[in-house]
Amino acid sequence: MDSYGVIFINKIKGLGFNGFVSILHLVYALWLVSTALRVLANVHVVPWYVMDIIFISSGILLLIGISSLVMFFNFVKSAQIQRILASSNIVLTLAFFWYLSQILISGESQITVFDKPFNSYGFGIISLIIFTTILAVPNIMAFFSKPIEEKNKRFIAAVVLAFIVSLTSLGVYYTYLGNQREVLLIEEMPGDAGYRLYGLDQNVIDTSSFGPFEYQYFLDSNSGTTGHPITAGAYEAIQFLQGEESGSVLGWWDYELDIKASGKEPVIAYASEEIKWSVGRPSELYDTFESNEKVMDVSRFFTATSEETASDIAGKYGARYVYISRDR
């Protein structure tokens, strides 16, 4: 036992810095590739924006993982190319951080860094910083390592081929899921924003994530940060509003899609900057926050203790209708 232990320790010592970094890349490659594939295996076709987040984030992790795997198998053979790959991985890590920093989960009750990717990459700022720092470490080490200088054209071709195959596979899978989503399409609603109604067919997709309510449909759009399941009653309400006169609608921003899909304009379509922490996945990249005065007025409308107060608020915004879900 002792002699085997000594031999093992001597082998580790014999690896040197370059060998250690090489093995580190192997571990990271297996971790990142397996993480990305596990997330992609459980992707939901609705809402569309979550699917896009999953594909973009998983794609970045796959590229870093494959690059790390190639660096492990060719670590000592081509120094400059290794540094180029390490630099590329660092850039991809920064892109991963920048992209997900735009769509953070607001609150972070606990830091479970390694579980975050499996929640549709639902990072908070602290866990995102930790996760991306871990991604960057082996590549920073590889960048400053000094392996033997040697060019290897086959190595370059292998890297390019691996990237092409990975991106092509992602594209094919994304197209397949897009086609699967089209099978569920029931109605395209009028308007430029592309509001679409999908039927929740349990034979086509897993509907367990939508909760215990009896949801029959999923309402989605080509813009915004949300999409949500709705009941048959909510669909009837949307159809009712479609046949009514024009006028704005008082409702909480949760129902922005419902109201806009009916062709009417909600008084508020989102939270204000002051309470963006209450939004599940706020995005500084493409979200348009409402004024705090509007949000407070709508809140006051629903908590008013007199008809006069409620009527004054409705009149202030020219609201003719009120929208609220029965299950709320």
Over residues 129-169, the pLDDT tens digits come to: 999 999 999 888 888 876 555 556 666 677 788 889 888 99
**Residue 176: CB partners within 8 Å, gap ≥ 6?**
none
Helix residue spans in the chain (DSSP H): 2-41, 48-73, 79-101, 125-143, 153-183, 232-242, 256-261, 292-303, 307-316
Residue 35: per-residue pLDDT: 94
Output the pTM of the full model. 0.78
CB-based contact 55:9 (threshold 8 Å)? no
What residue type is 86 in one-letter code?
A
In this predicted structure, what is the pLDDT of residue 326? 77
Every domain of the chain and the residues it spans: 2-182, 186-322
| Phi–psi pair at 248, nearest 5 degrees | -75, 160
pLDDT in tens, 300-328: 999 999 999 999 999 999 998 999 987 66
- The alpha-helical segments, DSSP class H, found in 203-291 are 232-242, 256-261
pLDDT confidence bin for 291, thresholds 50/70/90: very high
How confident is the model at residue 325, as a pLDDT?
A: 82
pLDDT band per the 50, 70, 90 thresholds, residue 49: confident
In this structure, what token pair is assigned to residue 290?
Answer: 């409402």
How do beta strands 265-266 and 319-322 pair?
unpaired
Which helix (H) or strand (E) segment holds residue 322: the answer is strand 319-322
Residue with tokens 């949300």: 226
The pLDDT tens digits of the residues spanning 112-137 come to 888 889 888 988 888 899 999 999 99
Describe the crossing of helices 2-41 and 125-143 by its angle, rounded to 10 degrees. 130
- Nearest partner of 250 among 217, 297, 206, 308, judged by Cα: 297
* Amino acid at residue number 265: E
Q: Point out the least confidently predicted range of 34-43, 51-60, 196-205, 308-317.
A: 196-205
Amino acid in the structure at residue 156: I
- What's the Cα-to-Cα distance from 263 to each of 180, 325, 326, rounded to whole Å? 27, 18, 21
Please, are residues 205 and 184 in contact by the beta-carbon 8 Å criterion? yes
Can you tell me the mean pLDDT for 100-122?
A: 80
Above 50 in pLDDT, residue 13?
Answer: no
List CB contacts of 109: < 8 A, sequence separation 6 or more: none
Query: In this prediction, what percent of the chain has a pLDDT beyond 90?
Result: 34
What three-state secondary structure class fits 265? strand
How many whole angstroms from its chain centre is CA 31? Answer: 19
